[in-house]
């Protein structure tokens, strides 16, 4: 920074200029950098200081990029950026755990402000970073890490800071939402739709983080920590992916009045936290059911605020870039006003996590059975034996001697449903049982 | 405040306690006070200071209220609260222009932080208050003034501070949305539905601010100022209410695939701002179409962020109380961290407003005509003469010798549509022409 902090009411004559150091200049980095360059005047007017990108660390400085920066500011050494005395704010958009973690730790220890869009880093190492930042009086901002352009972190950290939140449920992964939307709309299978998503750039070459729900789990760990005030270890989140969702699942769901969505859900229940990421049947009347393609949405339910929903672009350089720029502006304000660490992590450790087997929900189950008298009764009696009460059942005309039955239960503990299902799959009249799918309440 | 400001990283051993002075203790005041009392611990933990309601000004201290506060803290003199040295943050939830304006001006001049939920005051006198606050280095927060529990002000002030916003369109008035939803659902007329809304407490005894669109215009003035960076005079907003929406309008709209909503819309167009509040036909596929009852929603379209939507409870003591509490917490942080006036109004004066007559939109028009040959052609030729191109037309079976025709146009200037309509209503074959209704694009 080329100017001392200014506090109080008056802004000095020559506004300060803060130096930004970028770690990474990929999709999100270019998105943020383009906004910083093209909106420079409006940004400077609003935060009453200038922002200048002074150094950028990338693996290959010669690569063609969507933003035009002077060649001289590129380096291949991320620590050179972090340690550069002209860098006031370190913007980490490189992704991955290392060297991102060591770089940000170093930046924090130097008292620099940090902006990151790295959900994996935050979900796995956020506690250490936020503890260090609080200790050092440094700032860590991470709006870009969850739900792209949707300002859910700011909403939770500030606008809902006085609220007791009961529940958050969101569609936090655009890739899987794109796939599930297209499966329902175009009546094509998972593998084919995934290939289409990869061709369009909506899915990575290695899509496993997305389709197995890890990406959504990272994001859920981040937002549920803020919402409920507890550090969340990502491996405490029950997680199921969408890789074995079949076209038939999607079509039955549509027919019964549901959309299948990969949802991320966190709920307080008798002092315990219930945390899960899985595909679910969402009633068509539910606000999340109409969130399609690569859009994201987060529904928050609180004691006073009632139902609040945030909806927008969940990924992409421009929307996520906007979130990164908003964070940079907030970081800059704190430097200019001498109020670094104005909002710090106040999460407590070790929340009580509700065992997933105890969680009660409605479930949907699909199975192939022999089409002969007494089969339906036999299966129904297994459900009854496990105290799983059935809300609706649909049996299709049989193909040959096999009939397909779809059951939807009343709320029942997950463990009971799994036990009933295991017992049912052992029946000699049952040829194939699909895993139980969760059903969201209205 | 019983403690000096603390800056930097370390929080002092005994956390400070800030004094709150309330002006008014009605629905929103009680909502906020209840949250402050019942969530005291979580709030103190998160902002690292205590908050205490030290004085409350009301007209009648003996009135039964939804929150229990010590009798001794009530006064009938709002200036006593403002001038009370134990009051650090003045919370104005009394409504109306005076004495609210004088009270807040005094508070600002004393350097106190101000939180208000008073949309009329902000829309009419906001410029003077925000100028004084910037000059004095004081804080004015007003999340509760627009859209109840939806954190749209914070989203615009912070999360979208680096964005160039193209357009905001919202459902900002819960009363009219309740009325329009019920007209569509229960097939009952405006007057009857308004009575029902009044009985249920969703409409005031004098509903004119709501049904004539003034309340929505106040709110639009506030959010479009932040979004576009210009002070907005509320009388520059084109405004039409819902008082002459007939059941037949609602039914035709439904039949044609639209919902009628009172929308508040602000758009940048060639360096001019287009500002309007009016009922409109919103396509059923539009995200605002499914916002029903007393819910509010705000759709923001920006250069980078794309489409962003915020949805929630637009009124009521608890949701709006949550917004007021969030503001109090933000004000408290700025006091504790010595960063008052961290975000000030940077709006410029005198935006160029696009004359409403020049605004292009699709319109819907309904008229009663004599059911005889050549009438349709005669009317169509008037539209053609004014260069108003017709997108669709529905003519009903006639009752007696009168037929009803509903026209939907392609985009055309408002002036052309009004001129065509005036000419059409002078035709001897036309017995009744309803005012043109705006049609929202997808």
**Residue B353 DSSP class:** B
d(CA B23, CA A201): 55
Contacts of residue B277, Cβ cutoff 8 Å, sequence gap at least 6: B213, B216, B217, B220, B237, B238, B239, B240, B262, B263, B264, B265
Q: Which of A150, A318, A339 is closest, CB to CB, to B304?
A: A318
**Residue B66 DSSP class:** S
Phi then psi for residue A53, to 5 deg, are -75, 115
d(CA B258, CA B123): 31
pLDDT of A264 > 50? The answer is yes
Q: Is A325 on the interface with B (CB under 8 A)?
A: yes
Among A375, A378, A369, A384, CA closest to A417: A384
Is B366 strand, coil or helix? strand
**Residue B11 DSSP class:** P
**Residue B146 DSSP class:** S
Among A118, A114, A113, A74, CA closest to A95: A118
Confidence band, pLDDT 50/70/90 cuts, at residue A272: very high
Q: Which of B39, B135, B311 is closest, CB to CB, to A164?
A: B39
Answer yes or no: are the C-beta atoms of A326 and A200 closer than 8 Å.
no
pLDDT of A273 > 70? The answer is yes
d(CA A439, CA A437): 6
Average pLDDT value for residue range A13-38: 94
**pLDDT number for residue B8:** 42
Within 8 A of B161 by CB-CB distance, chain A residues are: 43, 46-47, 326, 329
Answer yes or no: are the C-beta atoms of A414 and A402 closer than 8 Å.
no
d(CA B376, CA B395): 9
**pLDDT number for residue B313:** 95
Contacts of residue B29, Cβ cutoff 8 Å, sequence gap at least 6: B22, B56, B91, B93, B94
Q: Which of A42, A149, A307 is closest, CB to CB, to B305?
A: A149
d(CA A316, CA B243): 44
Answer yes or no: are the C-beta atoms of A112 and A89 closer than 8 Å.
yes
Q: Is B303 on the interface with A (CB under 8 A)?
A: yes
Average pLDDT value for residue range A109-128: 97
Answer yes or no: are the C-beta atoms of A382 and A423 closer than 8 Å.
yes
d(CA B108, CA B345): 14
Confidence band, pLDDT 50/70/90 cuts, at residue A13: low
What tokens does A172 get? 């936090």
- Summarised one tens digit per residue, pLDDT across range B212-242 is 999 999 999 999 999 999 999 999 999 999 9
d(CA A128, CA A105): 9
d(CA A316, CA A143): 14
SS (H, E, C) chain A: CCCCCCCCCCCCCCCCEEEEEEECCCHHHHHHHHHHHHCHHHHHHHHCCEEEEEEEECCCCCCCCCCCCCHHHEECCHHHHHHCCCCCEEEECCCCCCCHHHHHHHHHHCCCEEEECCHHHHHHHHHHHHHHHHHHCCCEECHHHCCCCCCHHHHHHHHCCCCCEEEEEEECCHHHHHHHHHHHHHCCCHHHHHHHHHHCCCCCCCCHHHHCCHHHHHHHHHHHHHHHCECCCHHHCEECCCCCCCHHHHHHHHHCCEEEEEEEEEEEECCEEEEEEEEEEEECCCCCCCCCCCEEEEEEEECCCEEEEEEEECCCHHHHHHHHHHHHHHHHHHHHCCCCCCCCCCCECCCCECCHHHCEEEEEEEEEEECCCCHHHHHHHHHHHCCCCEEEEEECCCECCEEEEEEEECCEEHHHHHHHHHHHHCCCCEEEECCCEEECCC
Nearest CA in chain B to A51: B162
Is B177 strand, coil or helix? helix
Q: Is B285 on the interface with A (CB under 8 A)?
A: no
**In this predicted structure, which of A119-123, A295-299, A371-375, B381-385 has the lowest mean pLDDT?**
A371-375
Phi then psi for residue A325, to 5 deg, are -65, -40
Among B23, B1, B17, CA closest to B81: B23
Answer yes or no: are the C-beta atoms of B262 and B239 closer than 8 Å.
no
Contact A312 B311 (CB under 8 A): no
Q: Is the pTM of this model over 0.80?
A: yes
Query: b or e along A68-90 (b: 16 or more beta carbons within 10 Å of the residue's beta carbon)?
Result: ebeeebbbeebeebbbbeebbbb
Instruction: Please give the torsion angle defined by the CA atoms of residues B262, B267, B269 and B274, in that order, rounded to the nearest 10 degrees.
Output: 50
Pairing of strands A165-171, A258-269: antiparallel
**pLDDT number for residue B145:** 97
Contact A154 B159 (CB under 8 A): yes
Average pLDDT value for residue range A252-260: 95
Answer yes or no: are the C-beta atoms of A169 and A288 closer than 8 Å.
yes
Q: Where are the beta strands (DSSP E) in B224-302?
A: 238-239, 258-269, 272-283, 295-302
**In this predicted structure, which of A383-387, A398-402, B420-424, B425-429 has the lowest mean pLDDT?**
A398-402
Contact B339 A340 (CB under 8 A): no
DSSP letter string, B245-262: --HHHHHHHHHTTEEEEE
**pLDDT number for residue A152:** 98
- Site from B20, B322, B340, B341 to mutate, A interface, most A CB atoms within 10 angstroms: B322
Q: Is A289 on the interface with B (CB under 8 A)?
A: no
Answer yes or no: are the C-beta atoms of B408 and B364 closer than 8 Å.
yes
CA A96 to chain centre: 16
**Residue B73 DSSP class:** G
Contact B304 A312 (CB under 8 A): no
Nearest CA in chain B to A330: B158
Q: Is A375 on the interface with B (CB under 8 A)?
A: no
ipTM score assigned to the predicted complex: 0.94
Average pLDDT over chain A, rounded to an integer: 94
Q: How far apart are the CA of B136 and the nearest CA of chain A, in angstroms?
A: 6
Share of chain A above pLDDT 90, in %: 92
Answer yes or no: are the C-beta atoms of A81 and A115 closer than 8 Å.
no
Question: Distance of CA B243 to CAs A220, B35, B209, B278, B346, Å?
Answer: 45, 36, 11, 11, 37
Answer yes or no: are the C-beta atoms of A336 and A15 closer than 8 Å.
no
Point out the catalytic residue in the list B157, B219, B261, B268.
B219
Q: Is A162 on the interface with B (CB under 8 A)?
A: yes
d(CA A152, CA A74): 32
Answer yes or no: are the C-beta atoms of A58 and A76 closer than 8 Å.
yes
Within 8 A of B308 by CB-CB distance, chain A residues are: 149-150, 310-313
Is B265 strand, coil or helix? strand
Average pLDDT value for residue range A233-242: 97
Contacts of residue A342, Cβ cutoff 8 Å, sequence gap at least 6: A139, A334, B333, B334, B337, B339
**pLDDT number for residue A201:** 85
**pLDDT number for residue A397:** 74
Average pLDDT value for residue range A189-209: 93
**Residue B429 DSSP class:** T
**Residues of chain B where predicted confidence (pLDDT) is lower than 50:** 1-12
Contacts with A, B 23-52, CB within 8 Å: 31, 35-36, 39, 42-43, 45-48
Angle at B50 between CA B48 and CA B55, to 5 degrees: 150
Q: What are chain A's domains?
A: 17-148+317-336 (3.40.50.720), 161-313 (3.30.360.10), 357-439 (3.30.70.260)
Q: Can you give the C-alpha Rg of chain B in angstroms?
A: 25
Contact B302 A322 (CB under 8 A): yes
Q: What DSSP element (H or E) covers B180?
A: helix B174-186
Confidence band, pLDDT 50/70/90 cuts, at residue A6: very low
Q: Is the dihedral of CA B260, B262, B266, B270 positive or negative?
A: positive
Q: Which of A7, A158, A341 is closest, CB to CB, to B9?
A: A341
Q: Is B185 on the interface with A (CB under 8 A)?
A: no
Answer yes or no: are the C-beta atoms of B409 and B417 closer than 8 Å.
yes
For residue A99, cis peptide bond before it (omega within 30 degrees of 0): yes
d(CA B310, CA B287): 10
d(CA A401, CA A244): 25
d(CA B70, CA B57): 13
Is B191 strand, coil or helix? helix
Task: Respond yes or no: is residue A219 known to be catalytic.
Answer: yes
């Amino acid at each position: 920074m080329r100017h001392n902090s200014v506090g109080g009411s008056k802004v000095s004559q020559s506004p300060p200029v803060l130096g930004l150091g970028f770690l990474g200049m990929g999709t999100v980095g270019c998105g943020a950098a383009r906004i910083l360059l093209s909106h420079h005047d409006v940004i400077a007017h609003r935060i009453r200081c200038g922002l200048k990108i002074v150094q950028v660390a990338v693996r290959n400085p010669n690569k063609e990029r969507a933003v035009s920066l002077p060649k001289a500011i590129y380096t291949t050494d991320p620590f050179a950026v972090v340690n550069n005395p002209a860098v006031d704010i370190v913007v980490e958009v490189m992704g991955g755990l290392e060297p991102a973690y060591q770089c940000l730790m170093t930046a924090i220890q130097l008292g620099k402000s940090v902006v990151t869009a790295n959900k994996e880093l935050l979900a796995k190492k956020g506690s250490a970073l936020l503890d260090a930042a609080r200790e050092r009086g440094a700032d860590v901002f991470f709006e870009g890490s969850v739900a792209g352009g949707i300002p859910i972190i700011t909403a939770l950290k500030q606008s809902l800071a006085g609220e007791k939140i009961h529940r958050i449920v969101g569609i936090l992964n655009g890739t899987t939402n794109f796939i599930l939307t297209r499966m329902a709309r175009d009546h094509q299978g998972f593998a084919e739709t995934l290939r289409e998503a990869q061709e369009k750039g909506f899915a990575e070459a290695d899509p496993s983080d997305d389709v197995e729900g890890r990406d959504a789990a990272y994001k859920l760990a981040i937002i549920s920590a803020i919402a409920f005030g507890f550090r969340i270890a990502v491996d405490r989140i029950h997680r199921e992916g969408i890789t074995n969702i079949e076209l038939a699942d999607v079509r039955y769901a549509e027919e019964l009045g549901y959309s299948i969505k990969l949802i991320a859900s966190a709920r307080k229940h008798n002092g315990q936290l219930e945390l899960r990421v899985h595909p679910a049947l969402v009633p068509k009347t539910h606000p999340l059911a109409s969130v399609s393609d690569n859009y994201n949405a987060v529904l928050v339910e609180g004691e006073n605020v009632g139902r609040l929903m945030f909806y927008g672009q969940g990924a992409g350089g421009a929307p996520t870039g906007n979130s990164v720029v908003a964070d940079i502006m907030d970081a800059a304000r704190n430097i200019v006003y001498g109020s670094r660490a104005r909002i710090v992590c106040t999460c407590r450790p070790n929340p009580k996590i509700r065992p997933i087997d105890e969680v009660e929900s409605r479930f949907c189950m699909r199975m192939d059975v022999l089409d002969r008298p007494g089969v339906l009764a036999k299966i129904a009696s297994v459900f009854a034996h496990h105290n799983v009460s059935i809300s609706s059942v649909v049996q299709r005309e049989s193909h040959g001697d096999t009939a397909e039955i779809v059951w939807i239960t009343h709320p029942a503990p997950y463990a009971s449903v799994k036990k009933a299902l295991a017992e049912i799959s052992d029946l000699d009249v049952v040829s194939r049982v699909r895993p139980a799918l969760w059903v969201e309440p209205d």
